[in-house]
Amino acid sequence: MVLSRRASGVKHPKVTELLHADLHNLSPIESQLTGYNACFFCAGISSVGVSKDEYERITHDLTLAFAQTLLRLNPNLTFTYVTGAGTDSSEKGRSHWARVKGRTENELLALPFQHAYMFRPGYMHPTPGQANVPEAYRYFGWLYPIARRLTPGFVSTMQELALAMIKSVSNGYPKRVLEVRDIVALAHGNAAPRS
């Protein structure tokens, strides 16, 4: 199931799309959120141009409320969360966004999920055919092969992130927080399964 505020345009016999305008209030659709063993939580916003309160409300409050609801409805759930490179697990750094992401990760990892994985991608190169690619990526996308060679710990593709998320749920991973190198290794099958 794809849960979103807007239609994705994806049509597939195995995909059900559930549109719900207020992701802060899942009570009207709770009956449709049962029977799942994994969640790929990819919602979020940039900290650029929003107040600190609004960033916390969406990044932390929405994510935790969503996770807690799913956990209550699906006790054996594996939860995967797309966070970001530079996230501050200590919650004490100078960058507000990194502290908020760190607090969100820490609180998710403290919940009694079957498994929980925090994915920290850096630059994600678009996959051919991908919709909704930011305009800026079209201008500096040609730098991707160079960046991949010079800064492999910061660069992956969107497809690698997706594959790594699926494989973490299917096969597990020994680390609960995955940096870019972990994401790429797991996507390409070069990672040991969880013990």
Q: For 2-187, which CATH superfamily applies?
A: NAD(P)-binding Rossmann-like Domain (3.40.50.720)
SS3 of the chain: the string is CEEECCCCCCCCCCCCEEECCCCCCCHHHHHHCCCCCEEEECCCCCCCCCCHHHHHHHHHHHHHHHHHHHHHHCCCCEEEEECCCCCCCCCCCCCHHHHHHHHHHHHHHHCCCCEEEEECCCEEECCCCCCCCCHHHHHHHHHHHHHHHHCCCCEEEHHHHHHHHHHHHHHCCCCCEECHHHHHHHHCCCCCCCC
Question: Hey, what are 183's tokens?
Answer: 């994401």
Q: Which of 7-16, 95-104, 110-119 has the lowest mean pLDDT?
A: 7-16
Query: Which single residue is written with the structure tokens 């799913």?
Result: 70
For residue 177, is pLDDT > 80?
yes
Q: What is the pLDDT of residue 128?
A: 73
What does the pLDDT average to over 125-147? 74
Is the pLDDT assigned to residue 195 strictly greater than 60? no
Give the chain's mean pLDDT: 90
pLDDT band (50, 70, 90) for residue 83: very high
Average pLDDT for 7-20: 90
Does residue 194 carry a pLDDT above 70?
A: no
- Taking the whole predicted model, whether its pTM rises above 0.85 is answered as yes
Both structure tokens of 184: 């790429």
68 CB-contact burial (10 Å; exposed 0-12 / middle 13-18 / buried 19+) = middle
